[in-house]
Chain A
């Protein structure tokens, strides 16, 4: 499409593309446009996505220009303004929540918009509410007659739901629930949109009927007046204060003192309290899990993979613009990407971004299939789906969080400037390791599934397709004879499979030994948890490598796409072996001499992929406005942009109050007056 400058760049007057970056784009080994289409799932999607991004970025209300200079209050206000404006925009553009454009809106806004919890509020009513409740609340919420939040987590309680302490006591006389926060650790803490915006919240509380506790249930509670936004009687609510990121979201606290809600406000699709206080349970609650699993899968792409792609784009582009030291005496200073150590820091993360993109596609397919089954009232796939979503959410967010940080550090001092865009990517992605389930706990949930399947497989029982490999335990050695053998997907996929089986089976054996020797089941489990986490990581790593290799197999050979993806797949796989050598050497599956071959092939690949590094990140197709980075823009005018942006900082545009008050007396030796 001619020169892509118009699409990518904010078209500044900085003077064309930096020649150091332009030269990187001269001879890509593949078609960048084709790779972008592959990532989007087809050219048509690419077209739609670009149209959405274009529409949003050309609208000044959505501008992120001042992002790095704003206070918490200003960021919150901007997020509310954008959320309100978005309603108008969608109407104007004819975008609907079920249309093909919808999923690109969040990406185009980089997630910096309010009322995300409002969506969760609505979703939880749709899933947990009775038809009557849905008819009453959903239209109000859709019209923004009220703004909702979702209040589950408490000050003293997080991932473990049964531990929540908020109470809802049923009062038969008035047909109401009385909600209370009995002590400080029971205060709701963290829910987004709750600190300042929400008028209502779905509050999770322990249901108490005539002195008997029935466990945690959801209640719709009004917390602010619909007229003047003041807090309702019995409600104490506010903002929980500054965080590492998410300044634009008013994460809130909520304390309830004898707050009464009518009986009809308990979400009652699955459980109901009848007027006489009888508790009735109906239907399967398993569908509940499905909402949680779906949320986890959805966040992998938006909150982990896309941020990693952005960080890679910034770091790789900067690494070909930045010159530092000399590789050879007499020559000019070298691009830092020509240093082997820099390639080793960055290129495996580019490969990982692709690997995780493909595993995310795989998960989405799996979920769509699962969803169809569930529609048909078949819940067989649920345990596997749950295990998949937990394990991959944990593995991908953890990997991406450290990879984004590695990109930040690979940019030296300038990476530390907010203007690089990297610190905000970094602090934001860190939260993804905790929300929607703390990662260690999620790993252990997957571990439970794997151990169960391993036991079943060993006993000859059938297991879900993704874990049938556990049954085929074959001891043996890696057959590789030279470094080229390690470029065969079969060779490394088998190595990963072997490692996963070994770690799962040895931990299962240890668990059994402990139990047989009389250790209580729960203690035995706790004693094995460190190894279990390791085993789950190996399992997820194996599936990711296998899926990458299978994806490459299916790609069309045209346009050089398959060849470059094969290189990345090899790099991703060998990087994993190189950095976890002990796991593969442990039982001699890979020998010391073979490990040297792995290293040799791995280092060779760095030099090969180096040539395509910039086209590979260009294919992610981020606009400059999306990246919002002085280091990573398409034209590579890094230093000019850094200087221009710094001058816009309030520290330069406003007067320096510290000078008059402190520096002047200091310099003029009137210290005693301070």
Chain B
């Protein structure tokens, strides 16, 4: 039976959640297909198991391996081959959590496809496809992460035997973190500095067997293991790998592009821009992940806030739903709006990437730098925001949010490493900044720029003004998303120009590199402002595509909330840049609070639209039926501490102490 509060909430919604679900999925047929796949997994007894919260790390790893093995088999049995469908299936099987074969499926196989020669594909691809070979991708080292050129692992070519000799020369060079490396994989693609004919040729990729086929024991010269417990990722055996004079045949270097000939002659690759492609792809996945993880947390917090009653708003009346408190709405609704905004941004990057990668295959790389710069910044922007947002959601659930039964702790620890992996966020922001400054310089020298940065073209017209471009009098209409996009655009332009000018000023005083470092706080701000503008712009653009009036109305409210809340949190920028006046800021803050009340009746329907199955959500607080308290009690009874009525420590410690005192 559904909790009465939730039933009332759902009856009062002004739109049909299914219609919004279709928009998020990209069409009614996509929703149908997603649910088909979901049902395949959920109704399959093979994929059921005890609540993961009660299992040890070893048990979690074991469950994950068991499910992954079955998953690979069933994907083939059902003939599921579309990448997006595979992604859905996998995320249902593993309930949005990482699994030990992630790197095999997501990095090892694709790298073979894109970087191996036909001969290497013959040798490795089919065995890997059939899981006789399980591989991982070993790039990061203990002492080196985002800055790839700093990696220390060496691969020295020995023409006498036609082999590469792999070494981890220092402690800092031990490969550290790769998923699936610790216990699962028997091969790894290892990134190492190539030495041939006495010269270092930079980083290259090598296929390295690490465990004996058959016994799974590490090969002589290989030290491999698990890096120990982490914040989250319990089911993943992130590993270390140390190599001592380990030899592999020359043919194991991935040689589709660069090559080492038998005598040791090095042949350079044609273009290194191509590697951008994979990075853009993975970062675009993180943007989508930010949206999904934040959506899950919002679903839990908003449903629970509709079920939970606390204190009194008016004397004598029953305790109200905590969702009726303005402070609670103010905590949650901007996050809900953010989750929607990020969904649309994720979809945009995916589409753009798909379009551009078509061009890349035809040799047109012209759009790649901008997309690369944009995804770097958006990856950082969205993962930072989602990370903080998930945590907000947890705290909005009060004490119970801290229990693992709420599911939010798990979402948080699984999501938070995205702020550091695939490019540490600050470094990502600075990459975007480099592109922005470059574009600004182009405009200053009279060239025009295109794409998302085209607003910089307008700056040259303001050049007569001695100060910043500030005080360009945009008439901002607070109820019109399009007008708010202009305000964000003006802010981005103001920040980019300010950072570029500060950089220029520093350049008169010190070296290029010192000047860059001295300006980097400004540069990060400029990137953030740029990304924020892009997000508001994409959200606004999405509204025009929606045909159903009721859905469009509620999304417009969310879009306005997203934009206005962002202004209210960064009032200093808008004031200092002269985009908004004090009076307008006061109006913005007032309007934000009005929107909270407007969105309130649709809050539950808006999270229902995300359409997470209870099993996928993994939360007692966020259950669709809202029967929170009964199920919390049932859940707690299964806790390992409750396995025996009297805990053994009573006999071991408490009892003897009481006897002595």
- Structural contact, A434 and B640, CB atoms closer than 8 A: no
Q: Which of B126-134, B260-268, B544-552, B598-606 contacts A (4 or more CB under 8 A)?
A: B126-134
Knowing A328-B511, A339-B520, A585-B576, the reply to whether A238 touches B403 (Cβ < 8 A) is: no
Number of A-B contacts (CB under 8 A): 367
Interface residue total, chain B, C-beta cutoff 8 A: 133
Question: B647–A416 contact, CB under 8 A?
Answer: no
**A667 and B186 within 8 A (CB):** yes
Report how far A185 CA is from B513 CA in the complex, Å: 61
Q: How far apart sit A345 and B425, CA to CA, in the bound complex (Å)?
A: 12
Can you name 16 A-B pairs with beta carbons within 8 Å?
Answer: A77-B648, A184-B633, A190-B399, A195-B641, A324-B145, A327-B514, A341-B524, A416-B232, A416-B233, A430-B391, A526-B313, A585-B576, A586-B582, A658-B65, A658-B66, A667-B134
Which residues of B sit under 8 angstroms from A427, Cβ to Cβ?
409
Is B150 an interface residue, CB under 8 A from the partner?
Answer: yes
In the complex the two chains form, what is the Cα distance from A241 to B66 in whole Å? 25
**Which one of A129-137, A228-236, A267-275, A475-483 contacts B?**
A228-236
Rounded to whole angstroms, the CA-CA distance of A430 and B397 in the bound complex is 13
1/0 contact trace for B634-661 toward A, CB 8 Å? 0111111110011111101111111001
Query: Across the interface, do B144 and A324 meet the contact criterion of CB distance under 8 Å?
Result: yes
Whether A76 pairs with B632 at a CB distance below 8 angstroms is no
Cβ of B644 to closest chain A Cβ, rounded Å: 10
B640→A526 contact, CB < 8 A = no
A419 interface hit (Cβ, 8 Å): yes
Bits for A645-660, please: 1 = Cβ < 8 Å to B, else 0.
1111111101011110
Picked from A329, A342, A582, A656, the residue with its CB within 8 Å of the CB of B183 is: A656
The reply to whether the CB of A158 lies closer than 8 angstroms to some CB of chain B is: yes
Q: Is there an interface contact between B653 and A81, defined as CB atoms closer than 8 Å?
A: yes
Chain B CB within 8 A of A671 CB: yes
Given contacts A243-B404, A530-B330, contact A658 B62 (CB under 8 A): yes
Residues of A within 8 A of B630 (CB): 184
- The A contact surface, by secondary structure, is helix
Q: Counting CB contacts under 8 A, is A93 at the interface?
A: no
Q: How far is the CA of A640 from the CA of B240 in the complex (A)?
A: 13
Shortest C-beta distance, B313 to chain A (Å), equals: 6
Known contacts A158-B399, A413-B177; A241 and B183 CB within 8 A of each other: no
| Bound-state Cα–Cα, A435 to B403, Å | 13
- Interface stretch of the complex, out of A65-73, A211-219, A294-302: A65-73
A320 touches B (CB below 8 Å) = no
> Is A416 within 8 A of B420, CB to CB?
yes
Question: 8 Å CB contacts to A: which residues of B304-332?
Answer: 308-315, 319, 325-327, 330-331
CB-CB contacts below 8 Å: B393-450 with A: 394-395, 398-399, 401-405, 409, 413, 416-417, 419-421, 424-427, 430
Which residues of A are found within 8 Å of B511, using beta-carbon distances?
328
Residue of A nearest to B410 (CB): A244
Q: Are B654 and A340 in contact (CB under 8 A)?
A: no
Known: A163-B319, A416-B230. A663 touches B405 (CB 8 A): no
Q: For B315, give the chain A residue with the smallest CB separation.
A: A522
Given contacts A147-B654, A415-B420, contact A322 B228 (CB under 8 A): no
A329 touches B513 (CB 8 A): yes
Alpha-carbon gap, A414 to B141, bound state (A): 11
What CA separation (Å) do A266 and B150 show in the bound complex? 69
Would you give the shortest CB distance from A520 to chain B, in whole angstroms? 7
A50 at the interface (CB under 8 A from B): no
Q: A147-B654, A241-B638, A431-B402 are in contact. Are A196 and B231 (CB under 8 A)?
A: no
B229 and A241 contact, CB distance less than 8 A? no
Output the least CB separation between A601 and chain B (Å): 13
Task: Give the contact stretch, choosing among B50-58, B195-203, B272-280, B555-563.
Answer: B50-58
Q: A80-B653, A145-B658, A639-B143 are in contact. Are A156 and B635 (CB under 8 A)?
A: no
**How near does chain A come to B390, taking the closest CB pair, in angstroms?**
11
Contact digits for B500-513, partner A, Cβ 8 Å, 1 yes 0 no: 00000000000101
Judging by beta carbons under 8 Å apart, are B147 and A652 in contact? no
Which of A190, A439, A659 gathers the greatest number of chain B CB atoms within 10 Å? A659
A410 CB to nearest chain B CB (Å): 9
Q: Which of B61, B638, B653 contacts A658 (CB 8 A)?
A: B61
Least CB distance from B356 to A in Å reads 28
Q: Is the CB of A73 within 8 A of B641?
A: yes
Q: Contacts A76-B649, A87-B661 hold; do A667 and B216 have CB atoms under 8 A apart?
A: yes
Return chain A residues, CB-CB under 8 Å to B575. 581-582, 585-586, 592
Q: Which residues of B, 215-248, contact A by the 8 Å Cβ criterion?
A: 216, 225-233, 237, 240
Within 8 Å of chain B (Cβ to Cβ): is A527? yes
- Confirm or deny: B470 has a beta carbon within 8 angstroms of a beta carbon on chain A: yes
B518 / chain A contacts, CB cutoff of 8 Å: 340, 603
Interface: A518 (CB within 8 A) = no
A669 CB-CB contact with B under 8 Å: yes
Q: How far is the CA of A190 from the CA of B406 in the complex (A)?
A: 14
- Apart from A409-B419, A529-B325, A592-B576, 20 more pairs, CB < 8 Å: A87-B657, A147-B654, A155-B629, A159-B310, A163-B310, A163-B311, A333-B150, A338-B517, A341-B426, A416-B232, A416-B420, A417-B228, A523-B313, A583-B571, A583-B572, A585-B575, A649-B227, A662-B66, A663-B69, A666-B69
A253 in the interface, Cβ–Cβ < 8 Å? yes
CA distance A138 to B237 in the complex (A): 50
- Does A493 sit within 8 A of B, measured CB to CB? no
Are A327 and B661 neighbours in the complex by a CB distance under 8 Å? no
Contacts A84-B657, A434-B399, A651-B183 given; indicate if A669 touches B132 (C-beta within 8 A): yes
User: Scoring B residues 37 to 61 as 1 if CB is less than 8 Å from chain A, else 0, what string do you get?
Assistant: 0000000000000000110111001
Select from chain A the residue with minimum beta-carbon distance to B330.
A530
Contact B319 A412 (CB under 8 A): no
Q: Are B646 and A228 in contact (CB under 8 A)?
A: yes
Given the interface pairs A533-B327, A662-B66, A674-B69, the reply to whether A160 lies near B311 with Cβ below 8 Å is: yes
Q: Which of A233-255 contact B (CB under 8 A)?
A: 238-244, 250, 253
Binding site for B on A (CB under 8 A): 68-69, 71-73, 76-77, 80-81, 84, 87, 143-145, 147, 153, 155-160, 162-163, 184-185, 187, 189-190, 195-197, 226, 228-231, 238-244, 250, 253, 322-329, 333, 338-342, 344-345, 402, 405, 408-409, 412-419, 423, 426-427, 430-431, 433-435, 438-441, 444, 520, 522-523, 526-527, 529-531, 533, 580-588, 592, 595, 603, 639-640, 642-643, 645-652, 654, 656-659, 661-669, 671, 674
The answer to whether A158 and B229 have CB atoms under 8 Å apart is no
In angstroms, how far is the closest chain A Cβ from the Cβ of B285? 18
B182 interfacial by beta-carbon distance below 8 Å: yes
B140 within 8 A of A: yes
B residues near A342, Cβ cutoff 8 Å: 426
Q: Is B228 a contact partner of A646 (Cβ separation < 8 A)?
A: yes
A666 CB, min distance to chain B CBs, angstroms: 5
B142 & A242 in contact (Cβ 8 Å cutoff): no
A228 to chain B, nearest CB (A): 7
Give the docked Cα–Cα distance between A87 and B57 (Å): 33
Knowing A418-B231, A529-B325, the reply to whether A671 touches B73 (Cβ < 8 A) is: yes
> What are the 3 closest A-B residue pairs judged by CB atoms, nearest first?
A581-B572, A582-B571, A239-B641
Contacts of A76 in B (CB 8 A): 641, 647, 649
Q: Judge if B154 is at the interface, Cβ distance under 8 Å.
A: no
Given known pairs A80-B653, A582-B575, A592-B470, the reply for A242 and B639 (CB within 8 Å) is: yes
- With A418-B230, A645-B228 as known contacts, state yes or no: A664 contacts B647, CB within 8 Å: no
The answer to whether A661 touches B62, judged by C-beta atoms less than 8 angstroms apart, is: yes
Given that A646-B225, A652-B226 are contacting pairs, would A522 and B314 also be in contact in the complex, using a CB cutoff of 8 Å? yes
Residues of B within 8 A of A665 (CB): 69
Judging by beta carbons under 8 Å apart, are B652 and A324 in contact? no
- B18 contacts the other chain (Cβ, under 8 Å)? no
Distance between Cα atoms of A657 and B57 in the complex (Å): 12
Task: Say whether, besides A329-B513, A581-B576, A239 and B311 are in contact (CB < 8 Å).
Answer: no
Contact A667 B132 (CB under 8 A): yes
Q: Is the CB of A640 within 8 A of B403?
A: no
> Contact: A160 with B69, CB < 8 Å?
no
What are the residues of chain A within 8 A of B231 when measuring CB–CB?
408, 416-418, 423, 426
